[in-house]
Amino acid sequence: MSGPDKPQSTNRLQSRAAQSEPAQGRNDRAAWFQGSSAECSDALRPSGLPWRLVLLGAPGVGKGTQAYLLNQRLRACHLSTGDLFRAASKLGECDRSPAMQAAMDYMRRGELVPDTTVWEMVRERSACIRCAGGFVLDGFPRTLGQAELLKQLMESEKIPLSAVVNYELPLAEIVDRLSGRRTCEKCKAVYHITGQPSKVEGMCDHCGGRLFQREDDLPESIKVRMEAYERSTAPLIEFYQSQRALLTIAATGTPDEICARTISALVARAGTVAIA
């Protein structure tokens, strides 16, 4: 969405990845970002059963935006593999493993990181999957191989998946969302040049950090990402449909509207929902 149609309420989304900002329903995700040796300082607990959700959808459909809102409402932790790789890319070159260095190159081109590298990182963080607060997985699984590995992990731990939410949006709107996205280099807050602009052009409202355009949001990488999605990730829709886990949600309208639509569908599916 662009221009004046964008409601002001979406500005709240800008702090979705602001690590230092305390906000209702989020935690610091230390265990996710730093690995199994780290402990989250303020692990959240839902008031009812934990939600364990997977978000599916094309690049730019708004998964990260919805994961932030669902974290606020359902208290389940937002676990994004894309955020994890981007955080690792900030490490010095000596601190990056060869596999991580290769992952950076795949990301830059818009290609998927190989399953072995992704799984190595997720498996090392399996405590986040077992966490009593639940999770909202954003960007994982992304291939049938990854989905099988997640299924095996959850079955071996006897952890049920609550639902897989598949967001759908027309391609033209997706491309607009991606090409207008700007991200704060310090706190990772997300803006959109027309739909969700910062108060001062190029500067983050929260921390004053510089806003940049992700390398994989440039036209040539967007094309590669869309192809990778169609080839590797879209088949997951059928995979989860066959397991009766899939909820398809229209990603049109404001982020708050989409979140409300998602929670209504989850409520209808589960009968009850623990909302903070």
Q: Catalogue the active-site residues.
A: 63, 142, 181, 214, 225
The residue from 25, 46, 50, 60 that contacts ligand AP5 (CB under 6 A) is 60
DSSP assignment letter at 138 = E
The residue from 166, 196, 198, 262 that contacts ligand AP5 (CB under 6 A) is 196
Kindly identify the residues of this chain, within the stretch 143-172, that bind ligand AP5 according to CB under 6 A.
146
Residue 133 touching ligand AP5 (CB under 6 A): no
Element (H, E) at 77: strand 77-80
Using alpha carbons, list the distances in angstroms from residue 44 to 19, 60, 76, 92.
Answer: 15, 27, 7, 31
Kindly identify the residues of this chain, within the stretch 202-231, that bind ligand AP5 according to CB under 6 A.
216, 225
Length of the chain: 276
DSSP string, 64-107: HHHHHHHHHHH--EEEEHHHHHHHHHTS-GGGS-HHHHHHHHHH
Residue with tokens 């897989």: 164
Residue 62 touching ligand AP5 (CB under 6 A): yes
- CB under 6 A: which stretch of 41-49, 74-82, 201-209, 263-271 binds ligand AP5? 74-82
Residue 195 touching ligand AP5 (CB under 6 A): yes
Residue 116 CB coordination number (10 Å) = 9
Q: State the Cα–Cα distance between residues 61 and 266, nearest whole angstrom.
A: 19
Residue nearest to ligand AP5 (CB): 82
Residue 39 or 227: the one with the smaller Cβ distance to ligand AP5 is 227
Residue 29 touching ligand AP5 (CB under 6 A): no
Residue 142 touching ligand AP5 (CB under 6 A): yes
Q: 79 forms bridges with which residues in the sheet?
A: 137
The residue from 15, 65, 166, 262 that contacts ligand AP5 (CB under 6 A) is 65
Residue 179 touching ligand AP5 (CB under 6 A): no
Residue 1 touching ligand AP5 (CB under 6 A): yes
Residue 75 touching ligand AP5 (CB under 6 A): no
Q: State the Cα–Cα distance between residues 140 and 88, nearest whole angstrom.
A: 17
Residue 111 or 127: the one with the smaller Cβ distance to ligand AP5 is 111
Residue 56 touching ligand AP5 (CB under 6 A): no
- Listed in sequence order, the residues at least 6 apart from 90 whose beta carbon sits closer than 8 Å to its beta carbon are none
Residue 39 or 152: the one with the smaller Cβ distance to ligand AP5 is 152
Residue 110 touching ligand AP5 (CB under 6 A): yes
Residue 255 touching ligand AP5 (CB under 6 A): yes
Minimal distance in Å, beta carbon 27 to ligand AP5? 19
Q: What are the b/e assignments for 54-88, b being 16+ CB within 10 Å?
A: bbbbbbbbbbbbbbbbbbbbbbbbbbbbbbbbbbb
Give the SS3 label for residue 136. strand
The conformational region for residue 69 under phi > 0 = left, psi -120 to 50 = alpha, else beta, is alpha
DSSP assignment letter at 68 = H
Structure tokens at 227: 């192809």
Residues forming the site for ligand AP5 (CB under 6 A): 1, 57, 59-65, 80-82, 85, 106-107, 110-113, 118, 139-140, 142, 146, 177, 180-181, 190, 192, 195-196, 216, 225, 254-255, 258
